[in-house]
C-alpha cells in the first residue's frame, strides 16, 4: 500500500506538468458538466456546508441529527404521558403551588439534605399530604428517586 502511494507520488512529481495540463484541459472541456455537478453537490449538502462555514467563523459546532422541533415534540409528548398517568400528582402539585402563592407555606432556599441553595425542588414523601414536602436540590432529588436515601425518606415524588 505504502509502496503504491509512493509510486503514485513519484509519478505525479515526474509528470506534474503533464497532469496539470491534462487536468486543465479536462476542466476546460467539461466546464459545464463540472459546474452542474458542483451546483448539485452544493444543493445536496447545503446544511453541512452551511454548518462548516459557521464553525470556520468560530461558532460552536451544532449537534447534528438533533432537530430542535422534533426534540420539543418529544419532551411535550413525554410530559403529556406523565400527566395522563399521574393525575393525582398534578392535583397535589397544584395544591402546593397555590399554597406557596398564598404564602401558607414557604419554599426553603436551602436543600434539606445537603444544604446547597441552588435549584431547589419540592419532594413529596407522601402524596396524601400535599403540603408536607421536603425541599431538596435537584441533585439530591434525583438521588432520592434513585433510592440513595431509602432509609431516610419515603419515595413518592
Nearer to Zn ion, 123 or 130 (CB): 123
* 127-146 footprint of Zn ion as x/- string (CB under 5 A): ----------x--x------
Considering the complex, what minimum distance in angstroms separates the CB of residue 142 from Zn ion?
9
Contact 144, 152 (CB under 8 A): no
**Residue placing its CB nearer to Zn ion in the complex, 51 or 157:** 157
Does residue 114 bind Zn ion (CB under 5 A)? yes
486543465: which residue's cell?
24
Q: Is the Cβ–Cβ distance between 124 and 91 less than 8 Å?
A: no
By the rule CB under 5 A, 153 interacts with Zn ion: no
Considering beta carbons, is residue 51 or 143 the nearer one to Zn ion? 143
Q: Indicate if the alpha-carbon torsion angle 41, 46, 52, 56 is positive or negative.
A: positive
CA distance 156 to 145: 8
CB-nearer residue toward Zn ion: 62 or 107: 107
Nearest Cα residue to 96 out of 86, 87, 106, 83 = 106
Contact residues toward Zn ion (CB under 5 A) are 111, 113-114, 116, 123, 137, 140, 157
Amino acid at each position: 500500500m505504502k509502496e503504491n502511494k509512493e509510486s503514485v507520488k513519484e509519478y505525479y512529481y515526474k509528470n506534474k506538468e503533464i497532469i496539470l495540463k491534462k487536468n486543465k484541459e479536462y476542466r476546460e472541456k467539461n466546464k459545464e458538466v463540472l459546474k452542474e455537478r458542483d451546483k448539485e453537490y452544493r444543493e445536496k449538502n447545503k446544511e453541512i456546508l452551511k454548518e462548516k462555514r459557521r464553525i470556520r467563523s468560530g461558532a460552536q459546532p451544532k449537534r447534528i441529527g438533533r432537530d430542535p422541533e422534533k426534540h420539543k415534540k418529544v419532551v411535550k409528548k413525554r410530559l403529556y404521558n406523565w400527566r395522563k398517568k399521574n393525575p393525582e400528582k398534578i392535583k397535589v402539585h397544584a395544591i402546593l403551588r397555590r399554597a406557596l402563592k398564598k404564602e401558607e407555606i414557604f419554599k426553603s432556599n436551602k436543600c434539606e439534605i445537603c444544604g446547597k441553595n441552588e435549584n431547589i425542588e419540592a419532594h413529596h414523601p407522601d402524596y396524601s399530604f400535599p403540603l408536607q414536602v421536603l425541599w431538596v436540590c435537584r441533585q439530591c432529588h434525583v438521588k432520592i428517586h434513585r433510592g440513595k436515601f431509602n432509609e431516610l425518606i419515603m419515595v413518592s415524588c
